[in-house]
Chain A
Amino acid sequence: NAGVTQTPKFQVLKTGQSMTLQCAQDMNHEYMSWYRQDPGMGLRLIHYSVGAGITDQGEVPNGYNVSRSTTEDFPLRLLSAAPSQTSVYFCASSQTSGDNEQFFGPGTRLTVL
Chain B
Amino acid sequence: AQSVTQPDIHITVSEGASLELRCNYSYGATPYLFWYVQSPGQGLQLLLKYFSGDTLVQGIKGFEAEFKRSQSSFNLRKPSVHWSDAAEYFCASGEAGNNRKLIWGLGTSLAVNP
Please list the residues of chain A having a beta carbon within 8 angstroms of any beta carbon in chain B. 4, 31, 33, 40-45, 48, 50, 58, 90, 92, 94, 96, 100-102, 104-107
Given A42-B90, A42-B104, A100-B42 contact (CB < 8 Å): no
List the one stretch of B14-22, B43-51, B62-70 in contact with chain A: B43-51
Contact residues of B between 26 and 73, Cβ < 8 Å to A: 32, 34, 36, 42-46, 49, 51
How far, in angstroms, from A6 to B101 measured CA to CA in the complex? 20
Chain A residues lying within 8 Å of B102, measured Cβ to Cβ, are 43, 45, 102
Closest CB-CB distance, A104 to chain B, in whole Å?
4
Q: Are B43 and A101 within 8 A (Cβ)?
A: no
Residues from chain B with Cβ under 8 Å of A96 in the complex: 100
Interface residues on B, range: 20 to 34
Tell me the B residues contacting A by CB distance below 8 Å.
32, 34, 36, 42-46, 49, 51, 90, 94, 99-102, 104-107
* Residues A40 and B49 in contact, CB atoms below 8 Å apart: no
Tell whether, in the assembled complex, residue B100 and residue A104 are in contact, meaning their CB atoms are under 8 Å apart: no
Pair B45/A42 contact, Cβ less than 8 Å: no
Q: Which of B44, B101, B104, B106 contacts A104 (CB 8 A)?
A: B44
Q: Which residue of A lies closest to B46 (CB)?
A: A101
Question: Which chain B residue has the least Cβ–Cβ distance from A94?
Answer: B100
A50 CB contacts on chain B under 8 angstroms = 100
Most buried by A among B34, B51, B101, B106: B101
Q: What separation, in Å, do the CA atoms of A41 and B102 have in the docked complex?
A: 15
Interface pair B43/A41, CB less than 8 Å apart: no
Can you name the residue of chain A whose Cβ is closest to the Cβ of B9?
A40
CA A45 to CA B104, docked complex, whole Å: 9
Assembled-state Cα–Cα distance A31/B100 (Å): 8
Contact of B49 among A42, A43, A100, A106 (CB under 8 A): A100
B34 touches A100 (CB 8 A): yes
CA distance A58 to B107 in the complex (A): 19
Assess whether A40 is in contact with B106, with CB atoms less than 8 Å apart. yes
